[in-house]
Amino acid sequence: MEIEKIPDPIITVEDAQQLVRWCVENIGLGYHPDTPFEEYINRERMASFDPKVAERLNGLHDRAFELLGDSIYETGMEILRATYPELWEEDERENQPES
């Protein structure tokens, strides 16, 4: 994980969106805005973040929630779709009208 690239401080909506992007890029498909960072585990079933980093991320994420409100979920989905487009290609084909 690229801990040194965590957007900090979170002042603007753009900063908040960048934090969500960092989470998607570094946590992956398991990222969810409601999950505290101390609950993420890696493939070895070890904590993904040490306690100090998890505490820092929780604080930054709280600030992102203040700025984005419930749109943090939509922001996360947009970034997930852009990062992993292959996961939505089949859904999009199924939802297209027949010609």
> CA neighbours within 13 Å on the CB side: how many for 74?
4
H helix intervals, the chain: 13-27, 51-68, 71-83, 86-94
What pLDDT, on the 0 to 100 scale, is given for residue 4? 82
Identify whether 51 is preceded by a cis peptide bond (ω within 30 of 0): no
Question: Does the predicted model carry a pTM greater than 0.75?
Answer: yes
Beta-bridge partners for 41: 47
What pLDDT, on the 0 to 100 scale, is given for residue 87? 85
| pLDDT by 10s per residue, the chain, length 99 | 778 889 899 999 999 999 999 999 999 999 999 999 999 999 999 999 999 999 999 999 999 999 999 999 999 999 999 999 988 876 665 666 665
3-state secondary structure of 94: helix
